[in-house]
Structure 1
């Protein structure tokens, strides 16, 4: 094994595999550089350099994924000590200058002899390397250099194909303005052959813009401008074309122009589209400015008003001179301004692209109106946020109409519900009434039949018991009939009261005494004060107390206590029992028609009649829930009437 030498390391970067292989082989044979890696594009090169930190990088310019100019600064960032040499088939000096500006240590052309490549690379390092002896391979194969040059010529030809097959017109122009080389795309624009263009002054094809072209050439030669872009019509084609021409000088090492490089692009369709867009924008502007039913205006990114149409003036009351430049929060009620709601709208519009709501807005004169508001984020062609478009419409009339419609719909729904409830109540009432009638009628009929057929066979106490049952059933029918008649008159507002001074205490005492007779053995207690006078109908007041006592006996737990006392300017009649009281879910419907019968029997009219009769006397009826040791009670309050009233 020979002696190891500390040679500079190098990475070769080129998208052509054959070029990488050729350069790698020649550098290895030179015995002056150690090739430690290769890459097919700039992205691979950056990662490879980051790993290997080579002394040199031989970097191609034109590559897929990432080209050499883009990769160059990234390579130097990844390995600052690495020297980068650009290696390209392009011969333009402008490319070399660009590479140097980006940090390249040298720019080598692929047309150079490969025999000198290693020496040129070492020269970049400033190293004094010895000249390697001719290798046996070169001695044995003298045709190898011709093969190498053939491969490089093929690689250079690819760059020429880029010029010939480009989709835009290209040409090389002398400093005097004559075309010396053109591609097929440029010739097609003029409807000529490539040969017809060579030797012709370019200005001859620029129609009315010839003077501008000559002035541009003069500016380039004088160094006043490096790149010139001109839009003009071209002479020659049957259909006039609008083109954009770019002229740039190709400079030598002393920064002097060698020739001009020309690019020409047909922009006829683009300009036609732009003109149509301009006309469309003018029409849209006129439309926006004349619309009166919608307030349409622009806001800056900060919310300042930048435009104003006729609809905005009509809706808001401000003229353009008065409002442009102000923040759009002036259209919002004070409470929305304080909560920064306008600014919140812009945040939401910027986040989602648009924002829409309905709410109150304020005119110049301070009046408010209900508005539909749409705010849309506006961006330019580059996607940069430039403001907001705001459209406001006064929909106060529509809102009022919708509210009226909703109110009508709600009323109709409520009426339907009431009708449904009435139908259900009536059906329930008929069923309950039939049930309530069946027992007393059955008792009366059965007892009458028994007495008629077996009077002589019955014992006296049996006859007395049967007659007492008939009397009780008849009383039950009378009470049911009285309740039905009273409920009917209350519903039709046909109830007539025979008003007079009535002692409520005496009414309560009488009702309790009657209940004690009809319910022997039941614990029923009267607790009343004297001189509890009201202006009322004695029979109806008695009906109130009878219904409350009957309800307590039917659904409560003895003892039942009926009291009457004066509380301030009112007379309170209360009926309680020792039971647990009414369930909370039933409390709200206790005094409605037919309500209690569903849960505990009866017609459900008794408490309804109590409340309606109490209200007819200027009072009311309520249920007082149990509290502590106090039992629950049904309470009727009536206005007290002094004896001399």
Structure 2
């Protein structure tokens, strides 16, 4: 029987693997030689079996199908990988083909359709299977063989006829001079010649100009008592080019004299390719630096070490081989036996995966994604574990940053909506009063008195200023983030700049009083609009979140000028002191956008200065300060 195409099924669903395997086996067209539940097992199974086909699930734990596909093809280049997935996205199919998949099959298709798709993939190279292959029988005899030899051949051939014709490898009976008397279907397929052309043919013709190897083998059999002779030669048929391994065994009479030759011819191209792939695999493992790939013995001691392991964990091979792998775990995990427990899980379940903290040689920790797979030999004996570790620290930090960014964005949207709601309500109410305040219920004009109109207009002005300040902070923060904020510096009086900010804030808040103190006036080169924005923000914070009296001071320092804003409040909570100028940092859900102080600091820095919070200001009260140089900022 001609060997059927071999298949490995990899899917994280045991039930699906069982159903697909049963259907492929029942078809009689394929032989399922292995099953796996994740990408790590896919790579190991590809390396071990070199299958004709691999059904590979796209979504799996540890290593998904897209991640492990290049690794599978690296260790088994001849394997045709079919991506078998529950996702129908066009982009996923295109990506799978870019990585080397030969087909993309959705799990929703009937199993019979799946079988047909797989059969079509191997139709051009797979050997014929089932009844058609079993029906191939070569039974002709060689007319020019001596009757005496033919009778002897018949006596022995009868005993091997059934196994001979149904064998998966090529078989032939030959005369002592190498002429083929009988060939089985497997040999017919291997060499690509009809059975009738093989009968009577000198086997040396099939060796592709290596007939001397056959002559030497026949000489050893006829001149010695050798039980068998083996040699390799190239084969080149219509459907295949590779290497054949021939084993010649003499059939002897009771006196030990050879009667005829029994030949087994096996295609070892795959075996040789496997050896080459093992070399490629070793090179691959040695070249990979993003993954620590190494072996453990049955006790958990490190048995091999690749450059990726050295890169990630910091140990050289001579420092770690032979030591127990528990050294990679934090001390708290070692104390509770977590490493040993992981080996137990891998042995029981076949593979164990997890994410957690691991320890490098220098004692530093990193966040790792780990897969431990139990490894067995061909006899089923447990030989150890394969361990794959990937440093996920940067990915974890990125995910944490993304989470924080989303929280900050959510807070900004909520607070912005809150900040907009009050001035919007004031403006809407004021407009309504101005529009309807001149009429009574009968439509007669009653009018607003002068004081009422002044109050309405003051409310409108205050709300407009509040909106402008919010928009200004949002715009400035955006410009800072995109590095597009530019200054327009000019010479400004410190006393005039501070007095202008105090007037704006007092006008917006009516009853609030701000005490402005400037020891001696100083002329400095700044962008007056940006400086005003920064000072306004500090005063707004004092008005909204502090307690009166509020003081605004300006003074000359040895390095330039210092602007200080203080109030009678209790100051910042200790946990906010180191972060208060960071973007989106706020004291609570109603504390503002978290942009005001960030904008203050960035404006100060653009001027070559700095902003800070001091727990003990000029008058002993907590204060926010801006330190600026007198001259123009350098850029």
Normalised by the size of structure 2, how large is the TM-score? Answer: 0.37
Normalised by the size of structure 1, how large is the TM-score? Answer: 0.37
More relative contact order, 1 or 2 (CA 8 Å, 6+ apart): 2
